Structure 1
Amino acid sequence: MAKASDKTTGGSWQQAGMATRCIHAGDTRDPATGAVMPPIHTAVTYARSGVDDHEGWVYARAGNPTRDALERCVAGLEGGARALAFASGMAATATVLELLDAGAHVIAPLDGYGGTFRILERLRPRSAGLQVSFVDCCDIGAIEAAIRPQTRLLWLETPTNPLLRIQDLGAACALARRHDILTVVDNTFATPVFQRPLEYGADIVMHSATKYIGGHSDVLAGLLVSAGDELGARLHGLRSMTGGVSSPFDSYLMLRGIKTLALRMERHAANAQAVAEYLAGHPRVRRVHYPGLPDHPQHALAARQMQGFGGMLSFAVEGGAAAARVFLERLEIFTLAESLGGVESLAGYPATMSHAAMPAAQRLAAGIGDDLVRLSIGIEDVADLLAAIGEALG
């Protein structure tokens, strides 16, 4: 019988299936007791064995046993050298930007998450002199045209939030590497169950772990996974200096959520496919954005690059903004709320919620219209979800 200390990293599980890896990667058993789940270590400081020696943990900002167990697990899932857990997805994003010198140039998607837009458009140009170009990152030519001598970071997000557009990870990462540009991929929508960007040449994978990783709408957290040890060590040092670490309890909640991640993602995706197909045939729906539909512009790319199409979709309602608002007011089962990726279905109105910070002209130019509704499809019985949507559409 294997002892808890026999496997200490995610490496021995790399050839296993994803559901197996979600349960066993990183071997999160407690080596002291053999407990199959690690305890929640709340200590902030740790006794040293001598003036010049310590037992691996010194101070909670630098390391915590519960958080370390989570990070081993996540590194195993993404196939990375090192994972780091943060207090939020935005804390993770901010730490990545600390890698850059003042005045560096960043390329980011014009139709990405509103929180990323805010920090790149409003905060870091003022506080660090960053220059940012928002381009159509589904177009490799547009990315290449935006590259400058001072370009240091390519920020990708695929599928995008909220239009579910797909960026070619292999081509984009290869382009960035030729120009010595760091590539970061926001993998929140896909999760490592459906997409692993490091396999396509990305340097860093980012997650808002508040979403599918936690999966139960009860944890606020972010994750970074580095392809190499040196980059991981730099990010660890920056996190220790800036302090945006995940708490022990939140780390425990993420570990618990990951155990069912593969199972949940399968149900999220199956339900989303059914909802997308239903909406695509409904006369009150103008357009559906879901990569699992054959008429999605990047459907073939998504099928090659992903192992599933995910649980997020958006659609434009016939009748414009007024009709979209009526739909959201009438919709049952779905909760009108921020965020996504929990077991329960959520509905959102990007124009005033996730992308409210984006100027209207810029938002509309990115294709995020006033008639757009975003749905985070949960794991309820799909017949109930379809009935609720049909009733709300009228």
Structure 2
Amino acid sequence: MPNQLPNDARGPSLHQYRPHPDTIAISAGRPERRPDAPLNQPIVPASTYVGGDGTEWVGYGRYGNPGWSALEDAVGALEGGTALAFASGMAAAAAVFSSIPPDAVVVIPEHCYLGVASLAHEHAQRHGLTVRTVDITDTERVLAAADGARLIWLESPANPTMEVADLAAIAAGRPDGCLLLVDNTFATPILQQPIGLGSDIVLHSATKFLSGHSDALCGMLIFADGREELLEAAESARKLHGATPGVLEAYLVLRGIRTLSVRVRHAESTARTLAETLAEHPLVERVRYPGFGSMLAIELPDASAADTMINSLRLWVHATSLGGVESSLERRRRWPSELKSVPEGLVRMSVGLEHVDDLIADLRQALDLIT
């Protein structure tokens, strides 16, 4: 099973319990242990495979790769389900939307990743999907909106505004037949495992924290036990739409996962200090920090103040992505299509692994230049 260590890696008692996520991140997705075998899953750059006479063969490069399988084993083990790898987080999201009936109802956060909101509304315009938006912090309203819905789509913490949902309460209170998907990109399975809280599907933009080095595009879907029909539909969508990850990208993400725990915990400690420090600055009107993880956002008086700060930074990187070892940030409303409910002066911040004192010093000197 993907959430267990290989047979030869288990000690006399390891098979009796699920290892800690810190251990899973290191041990899962490894090749079989035998003399002179590689410790890491090698890259297999193959588009074509030799045919077989049974059912257990790949056949073609769009249908599978040993590198994908290793990555899927590791992520599935971390999240407690069965994983599928995709070319990007948006490819994974598109695979989910492609399986939703055209006349269905989907509930999404009022604040969520721009790409997901755009995808949902595109399906509404083209296919008749009904999209209901809700404040995910209001559990009663989420459950009310879920009446008659096929899917609740949650981000917790939400991107870019950092709201947190009560995942367990929503999972327990949703109506029969309504699926729950949780985008766990920001929290990572080190800090939060939505399937254990009742989610049917977990999504990751593996480009972000799972990879951790800003060098690979990849997405993941993880399905809870008993959701084989959802898994099969997503795998079919991956094959038919060609949304497969590159073999190098799969290798890089799996390599990044080996240090996921230490990266997340170090960055989380720094983020807490930054949140406390920034809350005391007179120009910072609000700090949005959910209390865990390494993502936060601050609100400055307006777009001009935010842009001045960003353009004056020397260490922080102005970039639209996140989750790398380098600390990055951006004013989300610089994108014309960003949700209008996101404040103009909101700056989303992804905390990396630099020393906290240097990150604070850079922010202070940039904030001091705002007039």
Cα distance in 1 for partners of 2:20, 2:213 equals: 23
| 1:362-377 matches, cutoff 5 A | 363-364=340-341, 368-377=342-351
Counterpart in the other structure of 1:344: 326
2:43 to 40, 45, 56: 40
Query: Structure 1 residues 188, 14: closer, same or farther in 2, change over 3 A?
Result: farther
Contact persistence 1:215–1:341 (CA under 8 A) = yes
Match of 1:327 in 2: 309
Shift of 1:234: 2.8
> Secondary structure, in 3 states, of the residue corresponding to 1:357?
coil
The residue identity in structure 2 corresponding to 1:373 is: V
Do the aligned residues in 2 keep the contact of 1:92 with 1:223 (CA within 8 Å)?
yes
**Deviation, structure 1 residue 350:** 0.7
Q: 2:338 aligns with which of 325, 347, 358?
A: 358
- Is the contact between residue 40 and residue 66 of structure 1 (CA under 8 Å) also seen in structure 2? yes
RMSD: 2.0
For the structure 1 residues 263 and 337, does the alpha-carbon distance in structure 2 shift closer, same or farther, using more than 3 Å as the test? Answer: same
CA contact (8 A) 2:29 2:73 kept: yes
- Displacement of 1:241 in angstroms is 1.8
Cα distance per residue 1:48-93 (max 9 Å; x no partner): 233xx2553211211111100110111000011x100000000000
Matched length: 359
For the residues of structure 2 that align with 1:373 and 1:382, how far apart are their CA atoms?
18
Question: How many angstroms apart in 1 are the aligned matches of 2:33 and 2:203?
Answer: 27
Q: Deviations over 1:150-170 (max 9, x none)?
A: x10100000001111100000
Residue 33 of structure 1 deviates from its aligned partner by 5.3
| Alignment of 1:389 onto 2:367 | no
Q: What is the aligned partner in structure 2 of residue 200 from structure 1? A: 197
| C-alpha displacement of 1:31 | 6.7
Q: Note the C-alpha offset of 1:185.
A: 0.3
CA–CA distance in 1 between the matches of 2:265 and 2:40? 24
Indicate the SS of the match to 2:332: coil
Superimposed CA distance per residue, residues 123-154 of structure 1 (whole angstroms, 9 cap, x where no aligned partner): 212332211011112112211222343x1010
Q: Which amino acid aligns with 1:120?
A: A
Could you say what secondary structure the match of 2:84 adopts?
strand
Specify the code of the residue in structure 2 equivalent to 1:57.
V
Question: Partners in 1 of 2:279 and 2:127 — Cα distance?
Answer: 45
Map of 2:8 onto structure 1: 6
Percent identity of paired positions between Structure 1 and Structure 2: 40
**Deviation at 1:14?**
5.9
Letter in 2 for 1:85: A
Offset at 1:16? 2.1
Per the alignment, residue 173 of structure 2 pairs with: 175
Q: TM-score, normalised by structure 1?
A: 0.87
One-letter amino acid matched to 1:147: A
**Secondary structure at 1:107 match in 2:** strand
8 Å CA contact 1:173–1:200 kept in 2: the answer is yes
Tell me the secondary structure at the aligned position of residue 37 of structure 2.
Answer: coil
Pair 1:71 & 2:69 matched: no
Counterparts of 1:229-308 in structure 2, within 5 Å, are 230=228, 231-292=230-291
Could you say which residue in structure 2 is the equivalent of 1:15?
A: 18
When residues 239 and 30 of structure 1 are mapped into structure 2, their CA distance, relative to the original with a 3 A threshold, is farther
Offset at residue 17 of structure 1 (A): 2.2
The equivalent of 2:214 in structure 1 is 217
State how far apart, in whole Å, the 1-side matches of 2:253 and 2:146 are: 37
Q: How do residues 80-229 of structure 1 correspond to structure 2 at under 5 angstroms? A: 80=81, 82-121=82-121, 123-149=122-148, 151-176=149-174, 178-228=175-225
Letter in 2 for 1:322: S
Secondary structure at the aligned position of 1:351 is classed as: helix
Q: Distance in 1 between matches of 2:324 and 2:17?
A: 26
Match of 1:6, SS state, is helix
* SS at structure 1 position matched to 2:333: coil
Q: Is the 8 A contact 1:13 1:25 kept in 2?
A: no
Deviations 1:174-212 (A, max 9, x none): 122x33101100000000001000001000000000100
Decide whether the 8 Å contact of 2:213 with 2:324 is kept in 1: yes
**Cα distance 1:4–1:140, how it changes in 2: closer, same or farther (>3 A)?**
closer
Higher mean displacement: 40-49 or 218-227: 40-49
The 2-side partners of 1:372 and 1:291 are apart by: 15
Match of 1:301 in 2: none
Output the CA distance in 2 between the equivalents of 1:232 and 1:349: 36
Q: Are 2:298 and 2:346, in contact at CA under 8 Å, matched by a contact in 1?
A: yes
Q: Which runs of 5+ in 1 are unaligned?
A: 293-308
Distance 1:28 1:20 in 2: 16
Who is 1:305 aligned against? none
Q: How far does the alpha carbon of each residue in 1:98-141 deviate from its partner, in whole angstroms, 9 at most, with x for none?
A: 221111110000011111111112x2123322110111121122
Q: Given that residues 112 and 160 in structure 2 are in contact (C-alpha distance below 8 angstroms), is that contact kept between their aligned partners in structure 1?
A: yes
- Give secondary structure in 1 for the equivalent of 2:208: coil
**Partner SS for 1:341:** coil
